[in-house]
Amino acid sequence: MQEKVLLRLHVEAVWGVRVPAIAGNEVFLLPEGLQPSWAVYVAEVTRERIYIWRPDVDARLALLERVDEALSEAVEGVATPGIVREVALHQIARPTMDVEVARQIARPLTERDRALIEEFEPESAKYFLDARRAPLFGVIAEGKLVSIAHSSRRTEQACELGIETHPDARRRGYALASTVLWAEAVAQEGLVPFYSALAENSASLRLAHAAGYRVFARGATIEGLME
């Protein structure tokens, strides 16, 4: 799938917005529906910069002056007011953990697991068990839920991964097993499974790589003045 198409699907999935087909290197969000807090999302895709603008943006020239700063690798990991840097990935490689191995570690979560989900994160069962969060997978260790993978956002064409693991249960392959099964289930629906992380989140990016995801865009949102 072309990187520009992936970028459009990714932005729609993460922010719940509608993005027109990206033919050139600049588009405006469709005005109907939700609008994000950022003024422009800029991404580097196959050595080309793509600009996705909020339709009511003011002072575009001033915002463009911040693009080099937003995409500079030299400042990744450094907090910059008004700028959030991310990495967008899609699954194109074989995970380091086989699906059958993952099934021995993680399993689907259902309504019957409500109490375990509530114990994992109080008052979260309603969120996780919502059909929009499907597919839902988790790892149960010693009678407790320790890792959970879900669709943090679902569209008609794609799902964006949300993965949470208890701090005491990390580095045991639990997050990887849940992520592998989630991606397989999403793909079986005929949807694109996406993984994204803040550019400075090296642990999340390592998990993504182990799960077979590779970078197709490095992007940043830039806040700005609105009309």
- What pLDDT score does 227 carry? 41
**Can you give the residue ranges of every domain in the chain?**
3-89+218-222, 99-211
Section 12-37 average pLDDT: 92
Beta bridge partners of 53: 28, 40
Concatenating the DSSP letter of every residue in the chain gives --HHHHHHHHHHHHH--------SSEEE--SSS---S-SEEEEEETTEEEEEE-TTB--HHHHHTTHHHHH-GGGTTS-BTTEEEEEEEEE-S--SS-HHHHHHH-EE--GGGHHHHHHHSTT-HHHHTSGGG-S-EEEEETTEEEEEEEEEEE-SSEEEEEEEE-GGG-SSSHHHHHHHHHHHHHHHTT-EEEEEEETT-HHHHHHHHHTTEEEEEEEEEE---B-
pLDDT at 226: 41
Predicted local confidence at residue 60, as pLDDT: 79
Read off φ and ψ for residue 109, nearest 5 degrees: -110, 140
Give the bridge partners for 133, in sequence order: none
Q: For residue 135, say if its preceding peptide bond is cis, omega within 30 degrees of 0.
A: yes
- Classify residue 190 as left (phi > 0), alpha (psi -120 to 50) or beta: left
For range 106-126, the mean pLDDT: 97
Average pLDDT over every residue of 112-130: 97
Tens-place pLDDT, residues 192-201? 999 999 999 9
Domain at 99-211, CATH class: alpha beta
Q: Which tens digit of pLDDT belongs to each residue from 123-171? A: 999 999 999 999 999 999 999 999 999 999 999 999 999 999 999 889 8
- 21 pLDDT above the threshold of 70: yes
List the one residue out of 103, 108, 127, 91 whose CA is nearest residue 10: 91
pLDDT at 46: 85
Q: What is the pLDDT of residue 192?
A: 96
Tokens of 1: 């799938």
pLDDT tens-digit readout, 203-223: 999 999 999 999 999 999 999
How far apart are the two ends of the chain, measured CA to CA in Å?
36
Does the pLDDT of residue 181 top 90, yes or no? yes
57-85 pLDDT, tens per residue?
Answer: 877 777 888 888 888 865 555 667 889 99
